[in-house]
Amino acid sequence: MDIFQWIEDLSDELNEAGQYRLVELINRIPNELHENHPERVEAMLPEALAAARALQHPWLEVFFRHWGLQNRMRNLAEGEKALPEAVALLEFAHRDQTQQCPQSVCVTQDIAICYGNVDGPGWVPERLAVSEETLARIEPSRNCYDCISREYALALMDDERAAEAVDYLQRQAQNMRRDGAEPGVAYRETQAAALFRAGRLEQALAELAAIDAEDMLDDDDGDRLSRRTFRALILARMQRIDEAWEALPEYGPLIVPLLYPRWSEAVALIAQARPEHNNWRLGRLLMSMAAHMDQVGAHRRCIELALRHGELALLRNAPWSARRALELARGHLSGLRADLGAAALIDAFAARVDAAAGGEFALPMPAEQVYEHVRGNEGSDPEQDMELLQAAYAQRRDDGALAGLLASAMLACGARAEALAHLWDFVGRHPGSEESPAGQLLEQLLDGDDAGAQVERLAALLQPQRTAFAHWCRAQLAFRHSRWREVGEHVQRLLDAAPDADGARRLWARAAMEERDFAQAVGLYAELAERAEQPGGDDWDLMSAASAAGDWDAVRRAAARLGIELTGSEGPVRETWGWVRVRYERDGESYDCLARRTGPVTAQVATVAPPGRTQHVRDEVVFDAAPLEQAPEDEAERERWLAPFRVVHTLHRADYRSWFVDGAHPGEPAFEALCEAVDALDWSLWVRSGDDYRVRDPASEEEGALAGVFFFLATPPQLAPVEIDRRLHELTAGWEHPLSWQQLAEQAGADVSRHEAVVEAYGL
């Protein structure tokens, strides 16, 4: 059975059953994976799996678990960390109720990928075997044939058989084309990789260029980013350094761990040729890449990345960083299934580290001057300062400021574990010191995997002598873990010991807002506003809390303090203040809606979402007063710019539903009349097509002869589809060119063939 046909049929069934959110997840999870957004996949996956299990749909569970694994192993490059789930899913996908699921074949690819991530060269025989066994039972026309063939070729490359991989991929591509299929983008890039590994660099570049030129249907942002990274690496190998630097994508969230090996090798080759790029910031970045491979059990990749980082550290005379890289690499030798020369590489690097170490470091100044010397140096390099700080600290182990600065240098170099051990040592020896870097330690602990136990350990250590700070630790931990009511309990104890701790009051107020205890938040912000010397941020936060609570008198009082004039003297605030952007968070991503501002911190959403997506149009919302972005510096851009604000509460949920309407544009007068009529009905219309949208003229059959328009139409929840369908017919009666609203017609039980004919005639 064809995977895509199965998904399409399943989506139709789920839509008919009203499972719109599940259909959205089916489409979005693979898409977000391919667009290099692993955090979004992770955010959506628990909901998707829960829904599949609630429906008792094991095939759908295989689908979601497979894509969850693909995200972990493709984007996040997980090795041993993902292996238990890969094995468990393989067993689940071959039970009686799941073995016929089209996605079950893909699960065998998951195992091959996982072996490759753990130790690609060491697991070559198993990867070849599982790929060969799977290929023997699927036709070349199936998408799986493309995927599994790639896994076989990658195993050949890891076995130093790149020339064989080139020939193999050509044969498999011929098989696909003979059966009416075409190799996809990832397959073509794998062919380029085989050419690269075989030393045929010009041909590899040409293959990447050919993919770009063909504008393939399955190409996406993740694929394009991968090719840009690969192109930079090939150019760097060819010593075309300036071109490589120009081609290399800037590091950012979309450079997922899957891209780390090629990206790091490219930048290392560039940095070796252009020393100005070889600095401590690059070192921290490469060490973080190696540390990720360490955490996910990708043993050989961890060794390779650590040694790559270490070699650059030696080139920039940073022996401390080189030693850390050496220790990390050594720790993964035991995880390799086969050594294949790894130990010899590590030993050779260790010899170079020893040779670069030199003699004992001598302080060039008195230890008590080191803190001010480093702090006063604007161009300070934490790697180069490391030995200076360590030597000074060895003489001044009770100096809290110096201890904190040394920890900051360690953290700047990506040495979090070392910084934590150092901070624990100092705080443990000075639990009552106000100059202790305990706050720095707390900040790091809150970001750790074992935050609960570690923060409680810190609080218990400090409780006898620094009671208020101990309660602050617990309040921060509760806030980080969304235990909102517990935040207030700890802050109240803190305030008993330190009544003037306004920062703690603000934390409590924020927790109250998150818990939707708006009355509590109003009280806290009102107290903060009264304690402030001048009106300011606390008054704005008070207005958000009071608006959410419906305490309009408090809103008006805060507005008056800020010098904001509001119409009316009582009741809800209803202003007309133009447009604003409001931002929502969902599924690990944020998205903005345009809204009409109705007060200092309130608005009514105007953007209409597509059918099947979460709908906010006509919702009345409260937003946080602090803009989420800074205004652009360019004056022209600033004039068009709308500040985005985070939605904190929905005062009224409209629950509108949207429909897709498409067709030839009727002309401005007719369309304006439609918009006015829609508005009079309390519906919302949101045009999504641009001025360049064109449709076919049925009379002449000329493509693009007519201006087109498509839009989302949102209607109240109580309005039946049959009534909406009827009114749309009335509102567009007499138009020369009919519009199509096929989805609405289906829901209304109307004649769908009319809309299908419009789609066909106008090429919609």
Res. 254: pLDDT tops 70: yes
Q: Three-class SS of residue 717?
A: coil
CB-based burial, 261-296: b 16+ in 10 Å, e otherwise: bbbbbbbbbbbeeeeebbebbbbbbbbebbbbbbeb
Q: What is the mean pLDDT of residues 312-319?
A: 94
Compare 296 and 634 and report the one with higher pLDDT.
296
**Which of 378, 379, 374, 440 lies closest to 411, judged by CA?**
440
Distance, CA of 22 to CA of 29 (rounded, Å) = 11
Cα–Cα distances in Å, from 316 out to 15, 256, 271, 272, 749?
A: 59, 26, 10, 10, 72
pTM of the model: 0.82
Q: Measured between alpha carbons, how far is 337 from 339 in angstroms, rounded to an integer?
A: 7
- At 720 the three-state DSSP class reads coil
Q: Which two tokens stand for residue 578?
A: 């133009």
Check pLDDT > 70 for residue 604.
yes
Q: Convert the pLDDT of each residue in 453-480 to its tens digit.
A: 999 999 999 999 999 999 999 999 999 9
- For residue 578, is pLDDT > 70? yes
Identify the pLDDT of residue 631: 87
Give 296's pLDDT tier (boundaries 50, 70, 90): very high
Query: Beta strand 579-586 with 644-652: parallel, antiparallel or unpaired?
Result: parallel
Between 142-146, 389-393, 615-619, the lowest mean confidence (pLDDT) is in 142-146
**Is 80 exceeded by the pLDDT of residue 359?**
no
> How many Å from the N-terminal Cα to the C-terminal Cα in the chain?
29
| 447-451, 455-459, 697-701 — most confident range | 455-459
Neighbour tally for 634: CB within 10 Å: 10
For the stretch 582-597, pLDDT in tens is 999 887 778 899 999 9
Residue reference for tokens 């589809």: 721
Cβ 555 vs Cβ 570: under 8 Å: no
Q: Going by C-beta distance under 8 Å and a sequence separation of 6 or more, which residues neighbour residue 255?
A: 36, 225, 229, 249, 263
pLDDT value of position 101: 84
The pLDDT, as a whole number, for residue 683 is 95
Q: How confident is the model at residue 637 (pLDDT cuts 50, 70, 90)?
A: confident
Structural contact between residues 39 and 588, judged by C-beta atoms closer than 8 angstroms: yes
pLDDT in tens, 721-744: 999 999 999 999 889 899 999 989
Main-chain dihedrals φ then ψ at residue 104, nearest 5 degrees: -65, -30
pLDDT, average across residues 622-638: 88
Question: pLDDT, tens digit, for every residue of 63-101?
Answer: 999 999 999 999 999 999 999 999 999 999 889 888 888
Measured on CA atoms in the order 695, 700, 705, 709, is the torsion positive or negative?
negative
**Residue 340: burial class (beta carbons within 10 Å; 0-12, 13-18, 19+):** middle
| Distance in angstroms (rounded) separating the CA atoms of residues 746 and 612 | 15
pLDDT confidence tier of residue 7, bands split at 50, 70 and 90:
confident
In the DSSP assignment, the letter for residue 276 is: G
pLDDT at residue 406, rounded to an integer: 96
Q: Which has the closest alpha carbon to 184: 223, 154, 153, 229?
A: 223
Q: 138-148 pLDDT, tens per residue? A: 899 888 899 99
| 524 confidence band (pLDDT: 50, 70, 90) | very high
Asked whether residue 568 carries a pLDDT value surpassing 90, the answer given is no
Q: Supply the pLDDT for residue 569.
A: 83
Give the least confident one: 73-82, 309-318, 424-433, 689-698: 689-698
369 DSSP assignment = G
Predicted confidence at residue 348, as pLDDT, reads 96
Predicted pLDDT at 232: 98
Distances (CA, A) of 129 to 69, 111, 120, 122, 145: 21, 11, 14, 14, 15
Determine the average pLDDT of the residues in 246-255: 95
Predicted local confidence at residue 109, as pLDDT: 86
Looking at the chain, the number of H-run helices and the number of E-run strands are: 35, 10
Question: Tokens 């919609």 appear where?
Answer: 764
Q: Is the pLDDT of residue 1 over 70?
A: no
Nearest to 666 by CA among 678, 674, 655: 674
Segment holding 86, helix H or strand E = helix 83-93
Q: Look at residue 500 in the predicted model and tell me its pLDDT.
A: 92
Q: Which two tokens stand for residue 658?
A: 């949207």
At residue 281 the predicted structure's pLDDT band, cuts being 50, 70 and 90, is very high
Instruction: Tell me what the mean pLDDT of segment 192-213 comes to.
Output: 96
Least confident of 31-45, 79-93, 236-250, 696-710: 696-710
Calculate the average pLDDT of the chain: 92
